[in-house]
Chains A and B, each alone.
Chain A
């Protein structure tokens, strides 16, 4: 498949935004359940959430560039009952809205107790909004992953691991960002979030490698026999019917072909997972903020490469009809 930069930016940016949002909610929850004695200020959560909302907003802007007719993009919310793409279009603004509320309630300190449990713990407004925002962010991971996983005709994508990996990579990049943020802010949450960033990055690497391995063992579901319905063992295309290019020959192939996918994959694995793991573990003890921001930046570029490889590695069934010009 042809990697579209709008989609590469969209999926990586909102992934990092959702991950950062979930990291902040996790941090607040960590204090609420009494695991830590320290506390963070509302300002801390509000600034972090503002970064997350900015990332989500940038992703939304990138997605607009994917549409040939963005002026009627609002229509894309119509078919949420059947289309995962439509569901993403609905859930993304929902996440942004809830995240905005989360930041605002923190910034202004609107934090009335909503409910007190039997064990004297209480649910505050900010925590409640945080749970909703985090839940919506989780839902958005599923929507984004399912957009690709439900395309049956690209066997490399049509897997449950597509959804898992979109989620893990988004969480990983968000938590690395959160580690850099808490490291800069000298927050007591740093140890927790850096540790989780390492865990999630390692899990994301594992999931990615497993999916890549699965994709080397794929069996084609369609054959030339079923494609043209002729019962011959040997069928080869003499001509696809035209000498020029068409949508079918550009949209479903990657520039550079298989080699570009291999190179991007290697770069993605190194910069997206291995280097961030190394840098965050070095910085974990010292909370050296520049190193953590470097890790986040390198990981972002790495995940762009990973996403390129994900697209370039997808081989669509329709390509069986477009093999030779003449």
Chain B
């Protein structure tokens, strides 16, 4: 197992479903190493196209007690990727150095067998080039030393307005990604298949403070310090009168 595994951590509590990650992904990758991401009749009645990233929306619960969950989905860069061993040519592979799952377009014969072996529907076929395509974790950006260091991140991460996407090495316990998973109960999709997805999701969560009434009025405060002390009756003797200095 690799000692480095780059991945995305997606915070479902933050995602607002704006699709900025979808469009920035399409834009970057259309002009980058993985491109193009062709569309068929993009302005026609029945458009079809390749995307590496989709934002889906789900409704949980029964009306009126429902909750809307926006759910970005891209390749999860599994640590046990089921799409890799089934590839007959070895075009589909997982990089040993950083755990990114990639497709070698020069070896891919376009048999689509890898897409059958992905439970997440993360792979999309490029009908023009005749090869299978998928999220590359912007492998052409994240190691580009001509970019300023804080820009060496996947396009989707840079685009996300509320910052719902965290990029990092989940094998490094001190990375932002690892901390986010650890601190916020990060989880994997469909763990039942044993694919060990590297990408994690952070759950919807609400922060509530439970206040009891007796905490507000300080029933247990014998000195009543929050209120003014009771004033003595006007006719009562003063300290001077009572003492004999």
Does A221 have its Cβ within 8 Å of any Cβ on chain B? Answer: yes
Q: Which residues of B contact A250 (CB under 8 A)?
A: 48
Does B142 have its Cβ within 8 Å of any Cβ on chain A? Answer: no
Q: Are A238 and B59 in contact (CB under 8 A)?
A: yes
Does B61 have its Cβ within 8 Å of any Cβ on chain A? Answer: yes
Q: How far is the CB of B18 from chain A (nearest CB, A)?
A: 12
Does B234 have its Cβ within 8 Å of any Cβ on chain A? Answer: no
Please encode chain B, from 71 to 90, with 1 for each CB lying within 8 Å of some chain A CB and 0 for all others: 10100000000100111111
Q: How far is the CB of A313 from chain B (nearest CB, A)?
A: 15
Q: How many residues of B contact A (CB 8 A)?
A: 62
Does B125 have its Cβ within 8 Å of any Cβ on chain A? Answer: yes
Q: Are A244 and B49 in contact (CB under 8 A)?
A: yes
Docked CA distance A75–B111 (Å): 12
Docked CA distance A222–B120 (Å): 11
- Choose the segment among A52-60, A166-174, A188-196, A223-231 that binds chain B (4+ C-beta atoms closer than 8 Å): A223-231
Does B177 have its Cβ within 8 Å of any Cβ on chain A? Answer: no
Q: Which residues of A contact B58 (CB under 8 A)?
A: 224, 228, 230, 235-238
Q: Are A234 and B61 in contact (CB under 8 A)?
A: yes
Does B138 have its Cβ within 8 Å of any Cβ on chain A? Answer: no
> A69 and B121 in contact (CB under 8 A), knowing A154-B116, A245-B46?
no
Does B241 have its Cβ within 8 Å of any Cβ on chain A? Answer: no
Please encode chain A, from 152 to 177, with 1 for each CB lying within 8 Å of some chain B CB and 0 for all others: 11100000000000000000000000
Q: Are A239 and B57 in contact (CB under 8 A)?
A: yes
Q: How far is the CB of B177 from chain A (nearest CB, A)?
A: 17
Q: Which residues of B contact A322 (CB under 8 A)?
A: 121
Q: Which residues of B contact A67 (CB under 8 A)?
A: 109-111
Q: Which residues of B contact A147 (CB under 8 A)?
A: 113
Does B35 have its Cβ within 8 Å of any Cβ on chain A? Answer: no
Does A242 have its Cβ within 8 Å of any Cβ on chain B? Answer: yes
Please encode chain B, from 101 to 138, with 1 for each CB lying within 8 Å of some chain A CB and 0 for all others: 00000111111110111111101110100110000000
Q: Are A237 and B88 in contact (CB under 8 A)?
A: no
Partner of B115, one of A68, A238, A251: A251
Q: Are A321 and B111 in contact (CB under 8 A)?
A: no
Does B184 have its Cβ within 8 Å of any Cβ on chain A? Answer: no
- Choose the segment among A11-19, A36-44, A76-84, A201-209 that binds chain B (4+ C-beta atoms closer than 8 Å): A76-84
Q: Are A321 and B56 in contact (CB under 8 A)?
A: yes
Q: Are A227 and B190 in contact (CB under 8 A)?
A: yes
Q: Are A228 and B71 in contact (CB under 8 A)?
A: yes
Chain B residue at smallest Cβ distance from A7: B111
Please encode chain A, from 58 to 95, with 1 for each CB lying within 8 Å of some chain B CB and 0 for all others: 00000000111110110111110011111001000000
Q: Are B109 and A73 in contact (CB under 8 A)?
A: yes
Does A33 have its Cβ within 8 Å of any Cβ on chain B? Answer: no
Q: Which residues of B contact A68 (CB under 8 A)?
A: 109-111, 125, 127, 130-131
Q: Are A70 and B109 in contact (CB under 8 A)?
A: yes
Q: Which residues of B contact A79 (CB under 8 A)?
A: 85, 87-90
Q: How far is the CB of A251 from chain B (nearest CB, A)?
A: 6
Does A108 have its Cβ within 8 Å of any Cβ on chain B? Answer: no
Does B55 have its Cβ within 8 Å of any Cβ on chain A? Answer: yes
Q: How far is the CB of A264 from chain B (nearest CB, A)?
A: 20
Q: How far is the CB of B118 from chain A (nearest CB, A)?
A: 7
Docked CA distance A66–B121 (Å): 20
Q: Are A251 and B125 in contact (CB under 8 A)?
A: yes
Does B159 have its Cβ within 8 Å of any Cβ on chain A? Answer: no
Does A232 have its Cβ within 8 Å of any Cβ on chain B? Answer: yes
Does A266 have its Cβ within 8 Å of any Cβ on chain B? Answer: no
Does B69 have its Cβ within 8 Å of any Cβ on chain A? Answer: yes
Does A132 have its Cβ within 8 Å of any Cβ on chain B? Answer: no
Docked CA distance A150–B86 (Å): 9
Does B245 have its Cβ within 8 Å of any Cβ on chain A? Answer: no
16 contacts between A and B (CB under 8 A): A78-B89, A82-B85, A85-B86, A151-B117, A222-B190, A226-B192, A227-B189, A228-B58, A229-B203, A230-B69, A234-B61, A236-B58, A241-B22, A241-B57, A247-B124, A318-B120
Known A246-B124, A247-B124; further 19 A-B contacts with Cβ < 8 A: A72-B106, A72-B109, A75-B88, A77-B88, A79-B90, A86-B88, A147-B113, A153-B119, A222-B119, A228-B58, A230-B12, A230-B204, A238-B58, A241-B57, A242-B54, A246-B48, A247-B115, A251-B115, A318-B119
Q: Could you list which residues of chain B lie within 8 angstroms of chain A, going by C-beta atoms?
A: 12, 19, 22, 46-51, 54-62, 67-69, 71, 73, 82, 85-91, 106-113, 115-121, 123-125, 127, 130-131, 187-193, 201, 203-204
- 8 nearest A-B residue pairs (beta carbon): A68-B110, A68-B130, A318-B121, A244-B47, A232-B60, A86-B88, A82-B85, A75-B89
Q: Could you list which residues of chain A lie within 8 angstroms of chain B, going by C-beta atoms?
A: 1, 66-70, 72-73, 75-79, 82-86, 89, 147, 150-154, 221-222, 224, 226-230, 232, 234-248, 250-252, 316-319, 321-322
